[in-house]
Amino acid sequence: METGGSLPRQASPPGQAAGDQVHWEGLEETPEFKELVRARWRFVAPATVFFLAYYFALPLSNGIFPSVMRTEVIGHINLAYLFALSQFIVAWLLAFFYIRQATRVFDPLADKVRQRASRGRQP
């Protein structure tokens, strides 16, 4: 094993020529990166709070209102089963909205961050 040698070269990311140099150090302090992080948090934080509240509403409802949750709605399918199945629908809807937000907002902001990284420390 060789010691004191240089670090192995990493392959260039897709869409970047091997000769292009990207400056990642200090990138987290740029306005473009901060804007991307803020945009993601504006979506992810409320979506997470909503989903956790919705998720824990089922066991809480079963514990606090058991007779209501046992109400049969369709044949022998009760309200608790329908609520549990609705959690799958809510998870898929949240995933859909995240993908839509990523395509419309996060991806263009990430492109700005990548462009800034390729320019280096220039403003």
Res 70 pLDDT > 80: yes
Structure tokens of 39? 């945009």
Q: Report the chain's terminal Cα–Cα distance, integer Å.
A: 42
What pLDDT does residue 9 have? 45
Residue 21 has pLDDT above 90, yes or no: no
Of the pLDDT bands very low, low, confident and very high (cuts 50, 70, 90), residue 3 is: low
Least confident among 24-33, 48-57, 93-102, 105-114:
24-33
SS3 21: coil
Average pLDDT over residues 31-57: 95
DSSP string, 76-119: TEEHHHHHHHHHHHHHHHHHHHHHHHIIIIIHHHHHHHHHHHHH
* pLDDT at residue number 96: 98
pLDDT, residue 66, reads 96
Domain boundaries, the chain: 27-119
